[in-house]
Every structure is written in C-alpha cells, then in structure tokens.
Amino acid sequence: MYKLFSAISIFLLLLSTTTLNVEAQLKGKYPPVDTPPPPVAAWTALVDQSKLPKAPVRPIGTPCAPTDEFCVWSCTTCVRDTDFDFCPKKGDWALTYDDGPTNNTLRVLKALNDRGLKATFFVIGSRVFENPQILKQIVDSGHQIGVHTWSHTALTSQTTEEIIAETKWTEMAIKEAVNLTPKWFRAPQGDADDRVRGILSQLGYKMAFWNHDTFDWESNSDQTYDLNWITGNFSMWVQNKTATTGFASLEHDAFDKSSSKAEAAMDIVVNAKFAPQSAAVCSGDKQPYVENVTLPPSNIKGQEPTAKTPNAPNGKSPSTPPAISASGASSVEKNLLLGIVCGLIMMILV
C-alpha cells in the first residue's frame, strides 16, 4: 500500500511540475496561431469600406511605387499627423518592444521594473493566446500594451477583411487575458499605408511607428549579426543632444538574443539623462485603452551600465526564467510545492 501511495505522490509531483499555468490559459475559441485568422462578418461590418483610401493590396515582394501616393511607411517611412513615431518632448524616450509576450519578455520586464521604467509592448495575438499570464504581468507592472496583429503578416498584402480579423482576434485575446482593450496599434514591419490607417482609425486605433530601429530581430536568423550593434546604436543615438524632440526606439522582446541586450540599452538611455516612458505617456495620451485606465509614468531609479557598449558601425542595420505570478512565486515553484505537499499527506495517511 505504501508503494502505491508513493507512486501516486510521485505522479502528482510530475504532473504538477509539467502542467504550468493551466489556470491562466484563455477559454475562448481562437483560430490557429501564426496564421492569418478568419474574417468575422460582424467585425467586418464595423468598417465602412467606402470611406477607405483606394490604396491597392500589395502582395508580399511587390516593389514600392516610384511615387508614394498612399504614404506607405515600409517604403518611404511616410507618416501622417495622426501617427506616433517619436516622443514630442525633448529628452523623453519611448522604449517599445514587439512580438511578445514570450518567456523572453520576462527578462525585459524584470529589467524595466528594477529600474522603475515604463515601456510599451506591442503584442501578437498568437503569443497572447499562448502566454496570457505574461501579458498580465506586463499590465500589472504599469506598462502599456498595444495590438501587433494575430499572425504578424504584412498588412498591405492583406485584404481589408483580413486586416480587421488580424486586429479583432488579437483584441479579443487581450480582453480575455487582462480585461483591457488597447487603442494603440503597430503594423508588423511598419507595413502600413493610408488604407491600413483608415481601417485602424475606424476601429478606434492610433498607429505607432518609431524613429530609432535596432534591427535586433535580425539576430534571430542571421548568425553574423553582432549583438553589440544593439548597444552600440543606443550609445550613438544618445549623443544626439541637438534634437528638438524625443525619440522612440524599437526592440523585440520575443527573442532570446535580442532580449539579452535590452537591459544594457536601458542603462545607456537612463545614464545619458533621457527619460524613458511608455509611448502613451510621452505623447500625452491619457486614455490608451477603451477602459478608463491611467498609465503611470516612469519612476527612474539610479542605475549604472552593467556592460561595456562598443560603438556600432554607422548606418549598420544593426536560459529563460519561469513565469512569475503576481505574488512573486513562479508557477513552477507553486506546482512543485503542491506536489510535495500531496506526497507528504499521502505518506502520513499510510
């Protein structure tokens, strides 16, 4: 009998340490991850297509037009007055991160929180579906979140119905995960034109770009990418003391390599006496969600650089921790403790 109960306790221990965060998974029915989601008629009806600019669908690989009639950011970095691409106030710096949430987001999140900094995370719906508990940690820490589509597909290559679906499926996952509806949107690869802007505007979103790009995403596939280019670029950017506005930088929290340099990049910005903020706070947006939520500003703590930051070549496109719950204990730790307690109880009963 003792061997039976011992075996059961071991089984419970293994089960509890391998099924992580099941209580945090989304309960709604969602489309397959990382593929363009299906349009929904009720969502499509939210957009009056007769009012959209007549920018053509551009299949992936289509060359840019000689004249940029429809303000295609991915071709000419064209922006409209309604777009965000930098902080308006000199000295402010919007730290923005794309493509999460993943376990690598936790590294970036800890570094931000340790320094009292606030940032903006543009999240992919597929990653929200997989990691809603990490999204909750971002929100609970006072950071801004925005929509970054469901499948990370170039939007100018999609139909209007597909763009609406990319947005609304992601919006639905975010709402279920953290009970918030973002009003900020970033197009994958910055691929947006006036048609995309028109769609997002009718859905209630503000389009966000950036004016300082680390190109850190290249490190995920290019073995020759030197991670020091990330910190090198930040070291070069902070030397610009003549700018009359602030900045907005783009990094990616989804990848192991790129996220490993986020902490050092933060220190470069802070020690150059810039004030990192979320995009909403630095632009004065007091209602970045449909819900009545006010985002806090950064409360910057003193922090010296933790790594040397060699200069990047001018013009160069340049082990994960367990999820931590709101109480500070990881799901692994909680489940491990649960398994041990169950085992001890069974041994006592025998």
pLDDT for 149-177, tens place per residue? 999 999 999 999 999 999 999 999 999 99
* Residue 223 pLDDT: 87
Residue 221 pLDDT grade (very low, low, confident, very high; cuts 50, 70, 90): confident
pLDDT for 304-338, tens place per residue? 433 443 444 333 333 223 333 333 333 333 443 44
Query: Among 223, 200, 225, 224, which Cα is nearest to 215's?
Result: 225
Give the other-Cβ count within 10 Å of 222's Cβ.
Answer: 10
Q: Give the DSSP H or E segment for 76.
A: helix 73-76
Query: Dihedral (C-alpha) 322, 124, 254, 273: value to the nearest 10 degrees?
Result: -100
pLDDT for 190-207, tens place per residue? 999 999 999 999 999 999
* Residue 302 pLDDT: 58
Q: d(Cα 178, Cα 205) in Å, to the nearest integer?
A: 18
For tokens 């950017």, name the residue: 237
Strands 212-213 and 206-207 come out as unpaired
| Residue extents of the structural domains in the chain | 84-283
Residue 220 pLDDT grade (very low, low, confident, very high; cuts 50, 70, 90): confident
Which tokens sit at 38?
A: 């299906």
Mean pLDDT of the residues in the chain = 85
Q: How far, rounded to the nearest angstrom, does the alpha carbon of residue 113 sit from its chain's CA centroid? A: 16
pLDDT for 101-152, tens place per residue? 999 999 999 999 999 999 999 999 999 999 999 999 999 999 999 999 999 9
CATH architecture for the domain at 84-283: Alpha-Beta Barrel (3.20)
pTM score: 0.81
Q: Which of 99, 252, 253, 267 is catalytic?
A: 252
Clarify whether 191 is annotated catalytic: no
Query: Among 192, 190, 168, which Cα is nearest to 181's?
Result: 168
Give the other-Cβ count within 10 Å of 282's Cβ.
Answer: 27
The pLDDT > 90 percentage for the chain reads 75
Clarify whether 152 is annotated catalytic: no
Q: Which of 98, 191, 193, 253 is catalytic?
A: 98
pLDDT for 34-87, tens place per residue? 999 999 999 999 999 999 999 999 999 999 999 999 999 999 999 999 999 999
